Structure 1
Amino acid sequence: MAESANTEQVRYEQGVARAVRRRQFLLQTAGLAGTTAAFGLTGCAPGQDVELHVLVASYDRSVGASLGDQWDDVVSAFEKQHAGIRINLERVPYDKIDRTLARRVEEGRAPDIAQSNVFAPYAEEGRLHNMSQLLDIATQADFIRSFTEVGTVDNATYGVPFLASTPRLFYNKELFRRAGIGGAPTSWDGLRAAAVALKGIGVKTPYGLQFGPEAADDEALSWLLAAGGGYTGDLSGYDFETSANIEALTWLRDELVAGGLAGPAPAELDRTAAYAQFLRGGIGMLIAHPVLMGAADQAEVPYAHAPFPRRNGGAATPLGLSDWLMAFKRNGRRKECGAFLAFLYSGKSALAYDGGRSALPVTYSASDAARARSAGRPLWPFIDQLANAQFAPVNMRSWPAVRGVIRTDVGQAVLKGGDPRAVLKSLDESAARADRDAATA
C-alpha cells in the first residue's frame, strides 16, 4: 500500500505550493507581506513583570512519553526573548484537564492560557479572546484550514489547535505472517477475514475495538465515517439514528463482536489498555494514533499501519483529533497571551513542539518542515490525512455532554442482544436535551 517515491514527492510539492499560495494571498490582501508585527506581539515584551498562568496536560508515560516533554524548553526560550513575561506552567493529568479547567472557570480562577478538549462553552460565554485578537494574519494563515474551521464558534476562531492527530489501522506484521494474512485489510470484509485468521492462531483479541469510556467516541466515529455516517447531519446538528450509522453498528455487533473477534469485553476496552495489549502481542490490529509508533519501536513490535478501510473498500474518511489552546480574558493579558502563542507557533518552536512522533503539526510550515526531514518520514502518511480529516462537533456548546453519553452508551449497541437503532435513537434524544440545556445555561 506504500506509494512510490515519485508520487509522494509530487503530492508533497503540490501541497506545499497550495499552502504557499494561500499564505501569500492572505498576507497580501491584508497588506502584511513581510511583516509579523500587526499586534506588536513578536520581538518585544508587551508588558513588564507579568506572570502568565498556563494550564497544560501531562500524559501517561507508558505510551507516548514524548507528549508534553518539550514545555520546559519552550518556556525557557520564550522567557529569554520576553524579559517582562514569566510563565507559571501548571501540569494536570490529561484525564483531569477538562474537569480542572471547568472548576477553575466556575470559581473565577481561569488561567490565562489553557489546554483542553473543550472550548465552545467558554467562547459562547464570552470568556475567550478569538484568534484574530491574539495572532497576526501571517500566523493565522499558517494553521491547517480543517483545524481552524472546527475551532470556530459564531464565525470566530477561539480554539487554537494543538497536538493534532489522525488515526490509522495498526497491525502486528508477525502475527499477520503467522496467520497467513497478506497485508492490511482494505475493506470491512477483509478486516473480518483477517480477524478470523488471527483468532485461528490463538490471538486473544484479533481486533481491538476500543468502546470503553476513555475514547469510545473516537473509535465509534471512525467506524461511522467509514460507513458514510457520522455524528451530525447536513445542517450540522446532531443526527445519530441514520441508516449508515445503524448498519455500521449492526455489522460490528454481528460480524466482529459476536464471533469473539473483538476480544472478551470491547465495551470496557479503553485506549490506553488497548495500546498496552498491542505492545504485548495480545491484539492483532486496532485503530491507533502516531503516539503508538514510538512505544512500538521501543518494545520492538513488528508493526505497520495503513488507512482505515471503508466498508466496501478503499480508504475511509479519516478522523481528525486535536487538543486546543485558548486564551481567557479574565486577567486582561491579551497581548501577553498573544506573544506566547505567537512564539509557540513560530518556526523553531513549532518544530520543537510538534510532539516528535507522538503528535502531528497543526501548521503548514511545521508540516512542510516535517516533510523536509528524513526523521519526519514516519509521520508523512498521518500528515497526508489531515487535509481531509473530519471532526466530532467540538465547536458545539453541548458536545461535552453528548460526548459523555456516547462514551457510556455506544458500546451497548454492539454487545450480544444490543439494539443499535435504539441506542442511536437514545443518543439523538440525549443530544436534543443537551442542546436545550446548553441554550438555557
Structure 2
Amino acid sequence: MRRGIAAAVLAAAIAVSASACGSGGSGGSSAKAAGPVTITWWDTSDATNEAPTYQALVADFEKANPDITVKYVNVPFADAQTKFQTAAGSKGAPDVLRSDVGWTPGFAKAGYLVPLDGTPAAADTSAFEKQLITQASYSGHLYGVPLVTDTLGLMYNKALFAKAGITTAPTSWDQLKADSALVKQKDGVDGFDFNAASYYAMPFLYGEGTDMVDATAQKITLSSPAAVKGINTIKDLLASPGVGKLDTTANAYASMMDRFESGQVAMIVQGPWETTNVYKGTAFSDKTNLGIAPVPAGSTGKSGAPIGGHNLVAYAGSDAAHQAASEKFIAFMTSAQSQQTIATKNATLPTRSDAYTPAVTANPGIAGFQTILGAGVPRPPLAEYSSIYGLFNTELLKILAGQESTQAGMDNATTATRKLLPGFATQ
C-alpha cells in the first residue's frame, strides 16, 4: 500500500461535494445487453500496488462474459472526483467508477449516478456489512456497492507494552494517557503520537456521542458541548507525559509512521492501509508484534471510528445496454470470490462477511481490523458531509496550536459549515 494513502484520505474528505438536482427513479436498468457492448471503468486504486489485481479480475470477467468488453482506465485518486464531475456534466463519464465513499452522496445528489436497487449489482447486499450499505445509499436509494472498506483503529507495539508491564490495549483516552506515561517511564520512548487531521479527530467526537452534524435533526453540532469536550481531550493528550509533541509540518504523517515502525512510539491511531508498511518496519519484522484494537472510548464509554473505503457506482448517462453490462460487472467485482482475491493480493478489507475466509484472515492486519469494523460509524447520507472535514480541519489545527480557543475554533467551523448547509440549525 502506498504511504500517501492518508493524504488521499484527507483530500477525499475535504473535497467539495457535487451539487445539483437529485436524480429520480427507483432503480437502474436490468435489461440484457443486446449484442457485444464495451463499458469503461475508471479505477482509482494505486496504479503500482493495487491496479494489477483489478486488471486481472477484469480479464476474468471478460472471459466469463464474452459479449462485454471492459475498457480499463486507471485514474489517479487525487484527480478522479473532479474528472468525473466534469465528464458527467458533459455526458462523457465512464460507465463505472471506483468512487470514494465520501463522493457517492454528492454524485447521487447531482444526478450523475443510477440507483442500483433491484438490479443484479445489488442482488447480494444482505452479505455486506450493514453500515457499508447505509453509507452507499442516498435519499432512500442504493447508489453504490461497497468494494473495499477501512476504519481507524489503535495500533500498538506489543513488545513495548510488555516491557512497560501493560497487558491490554487501553479502552479509554484516560487509560491511553496513563499507559503513554508508563511507556515513557519504562521504555524511554513515547507512548502515543496523534496525527493532527480532522479525519483522525473523529473518534474523539464519536466518543462524546456526537458528530460534525446531525443529518436527521438537521443540526450542525461542531460547536456543541460534546464536540468541544472531544477536542479538549486531544489537547489534554498532547500536553501529557509520554505523548509526542504536536507536529503540523508537511512531514508530520511520514514522521509519525517512521517512529512507530522503528519502535520509537508505542501507539498510533491508524487505518489498515498502513499495515503493509508497518510490517516492513524494524519493530514489526515479527508481524505478531503488531496489536490492533478499537480506538479508545470517550466519556460516554463508547468507541467509534469513521468508515472509509470505495464503492462501485454506475453512470446515469449511460444507455440501457451499457447500464445492464455495468450492473453485471459491479456484481462480479464485488462478489465474495473477487473480494477474496482483492484482499489476499492487495491486503485490503473486504466489505462482505463471506469474503473473510481463512486465506484472507491469514493476514494478521486484515484479521485484526475485521474484529473492530463493528465500531465503525458510517457517514450520514449528506452530499456536503465530506466538505465539512476541510472546514473542521482548518480550525482544528489552529486550536491545537493554541492560536484560538476550542470553543472559538469550533464556532468558526460551524459558521463556515452553515454556508454549506444553510437550512441546518446549530447546536
Using structure 2 for the length normalisation, give the TM-score.
0.80
Q: Structure 2 regions of 5+ residues with no counterpart?
A: 1-28
Change (3 A) 1:415 1:391: farther
Higher relative contact order (CA 8 A, sep 6+): 2
| Aligned partner of residue 132 in structure 1, secondary structure | coil
Alignment of 1:39-438 (within 5 A): 39=30, 46-59=33-46, 65=49, 67-117=50-100, 118-132=103-117, 134-135=119-120, 138-200=123-185, 201-203=187-189, 206-211=191-196, 216-233=197-214, 235=217, 237-257=219-239, 261-266=243-248, 271=253, 274-300=256-282, 301=284, 302-312=289-299, 316-332=303-319, 333-354=322-343, 358-367=347-356, 370=357, 375=362, 378-393=365-380, 395-436=381-422
User: Percent identity between the aligned chains?
Assistant: 20
Question: Is this contact kept in 1: 2:155–2:291, CA < 8 A?
Answer: yes
Query: Relative to 1, partners in 2 of residues 1:435 and 1:374: Cα closer, same or farther, differing over 3 Å?
Result: closer
What's the CA shift string for 1:96-151, capped at 9, x where partnerless?
33233334334543111112220222211222111225426632333222111122
User: 1:77-103, CA deviations, whole angstroms, 9 ceiling, x for partnerless residues?
Assistant: 001111122212122333333233334
CA distance in 1, matches of 2:294, 2:92: 43
Q: Decide whether the 8 Å contact of 1:56 with 1:97 is kept in 2.
A: no
Aligned equivalents of 1:380, 1:76: Cα separation in 2:
29
* Residue deviations 1:336-355 (CA, integer Å, cap 9, x gap): 11010111122322221236
Question: Contact 2:384/2:420 (CA < 8 Å) preserved in 1?
Answer: yes
Residue type of the partner of 1:424? M
Cα distance in 1 for partners of 2:251, 2:167 equals: 27
**How much does 1:181 deviate?**
3.7
Change (3 A) 1:386 1:307: closer
* Kept after mapping to 1: 8 A contact 2:204/2:233: no
> Which letter does structure 2 place at the counterpart of 1:397?
A
- Deviation of the 1:186 alpha carbon: 2.1
The answer (yes or no) to whether the contact 1:371–1:380 under 8 Å persists in 2 is: no
Aligned residues: 385
Contact 2:122 2:145 in 1 (8 A): no
Q: Distance in 2 between matches of 1:86 and 1:56?
A: 15
Partners of 2:171 and 2:269 in 1: CA distance? 14
Q: Note the C-alpha offset of 1:222.
A: 1.5
Deviates more, 1:82-91 or 1:129-138: 129-138
Deviations 1:274-333 (A, max 9, x none): 334422334321112223333323335132122211135966134322222211022322
Change (3 A) 1:207 1:98: farther
Q: Which amino acid aligns with 1:281?
A: G
Q: 5+ unaligned residues in a row in structure 1: which ranges? A: 1-37
- From the superposition, tell whether residues 47 and 339 of structure 1 become closer, same or farther in structure 2 (CA, over 3 Å): farther
Equivalent residue of 2:309, what SS?
strand
The 3 A distance-change label for structure 1 pair 40 and 344 is farther
- Alpha-carbon distance in 2 for matches of 1:73, 1:91: 13
Structure 1: how far apart are the matches of 2:354 and 2:327? 19
Q: CA RMSD in A?
A: 3.0
